[in-house]
Amino acid sequence: MRRLILILPIFLAAGMCQPKIEYVPVKPEVPADLLRPVPISDRRAETYRDLAILATEHLNSAQTANAKIKAIGSVLNPQ
């Protein structure tokens, strides 16, 4: 019985000293170059060659934009 009387205050004191948990939201930092718009060519196509060059430039712009979207996704949702 004496041991119980000595141990009981320890358990009571341990139950009362719970640490306060504080959650702090963390805003991910996206690099500025990923937020810069991808330029789109304003070239005027007058020949088939110009049309092919314009299509290539638009494809490169789309691929660059998709790469930026993927990079921003990896910053916001790291896995």
* Residue 29 near residue 72 (C-beta atoms within 8 A): no
User: Which pLDDT belongs to residue 17?
Assistant: 63
User: Which pLDDT belongs to residue 39?
Assistant: 93
Q: Could you tell me the pTM of the whole model?
A: 0.63
DSSP state of 72: H
pLDDT tens digits along 22-77: 999 888 899 999 999 999 999 999 999 999 999 999 999 999 999 999 999 999 88
pLDDT over threshold 90, residue 18:
no
Percent helix, strand, coil in the chain (nearest 5)?
Answer: 60, 0, 40
* Residue 45 near residue 54 (C-beta atoms within 8 A): yes
